[in-house]
């Protein structure tokens, strides 16, 4: 039954197969309403159905509200997880960037050290060559000293012979 039909003059089918005349509640003032309706011209059984429907709707709305609240809480938890993940990722990215900078610095230092090593190796080669030259010069000086000593011994012997010959 539709609310607009309550006060109409048409016959309304209340149960299948039976008809009854609608109550003319609109024609009566509020104080003279029949006992089967309330001040809104709605039959009491329909008003009860509407209140039960209202209770059911309130319960459904409460359930949906709880569901939405739990979804909001889940979304907030997910958001906080994502924020933590973002912070961790950003921190890791910053660490990675720092490590890459340090890696390039280490590579530059390695190149400098390798260049220094090459210089040291070249200097070592020069020093080794100098040592070889000095050893050769030392050997030459030793042989010259030995030759000079030998010559000195011969000269002394010759001198002694020469000095002794005139006396004899």
pLDDT greater than 60 at residue 20: no
What sign does the dihedral 132-134-139-144 (CA atoms) show?
positive
Residue at token pair 């050893």:
135
Region 57-70: mean pLDDT is: 91
pTM: 0.40
**Helix or strand run (H / E) with residue 12:** strand 12-15
User: Would residue 164 count as lying in a domain?
Assistant: no
53: in domain: no
Mean pLDDT along residues 76-81: 95
SS3 content of the chain, % helix, strand, coil (to 5): 75, 5, 15
In a domain, 147, yes or no: no
Residues 144, 145, 150, 155, CA torsion sign: positive
pLDDT score of 148: 95
Residue 19 domain-assigned (yes or no): yes
Cβ-proximal residues to 142 (8 Å cutoff; 6+ apart), any chain: none
Mean pLDDT of 119-144: 96
Residue 109 forms part of a structural domain: no
The torsion angles phi and psi of 19, rounded to 5 degrees, stand at -125, 155
Query: Is the residue at 139 inside a domain?
Result: no
Tokens describing residue 88: 């961790």
CA distance 142 to 23: 150
Q: pLDDT-based confidence at 149, cuts 50/70/90?
A: very high
Asked if residue 94 is part of any domain, the answer here is no
Q: Which residues pair with 12 in a beta bridge?
A: 20
Structural domain count, the chain: 1
Q: Is residue 116 part of a domain?
A: no
What's the whole-number mean pLDDT along residues 130-150?
A: 96
Give the residue numbers spanning the domain of 27: 1-42
Cβ-Cβ contacts under 8 Å for 6 (sequence gap 6 or more): 22, 23, 25, 26, 37, 41, 42, 43
Whether 46 contacts 14, CB under 8 Å: no
* DSSP secondary structure, 79-127, as one string: HHHHHHHHHHHHHHHHHHHHHHHHHHHHHHHHHHHHHHHHHHHHHHHHH
């Amino acid at each position: 039954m539709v609310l607009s039909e309550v006060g109409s003059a048409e016959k309304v089918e209340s149960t299948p197969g039976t008809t009854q005349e609608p109550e003319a509640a609109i024609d009566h003032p509020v104080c003279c309403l029949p006992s089967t309706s309330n001040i809104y011209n709605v039959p009491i059984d329909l008003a009860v159905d509407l209140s039960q429907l209202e209770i059911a709707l309130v319960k459904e709305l409460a359930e949906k509200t709880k569901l939405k609240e739990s979804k909001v809480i889940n979304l907030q938890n997910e958001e906080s997880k994502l924020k933590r993940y973002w912070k961790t990722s950003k921190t890791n990215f910053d660490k990675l960037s720092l490590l890459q900078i340090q890696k390039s610095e280490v590579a530059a230092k390695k190149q400098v050290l390798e260049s220094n090593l090459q210089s040291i190796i070249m200097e070592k080669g020069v020093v080794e060559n100098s040592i070889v030259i000095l050893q050769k010069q030392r050997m030459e000086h030793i042989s010259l000293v030995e030759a000079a000593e030998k010559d000195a011994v011969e000269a002394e012997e010759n001198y002694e012979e020469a000095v002794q010959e005139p006396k004899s």
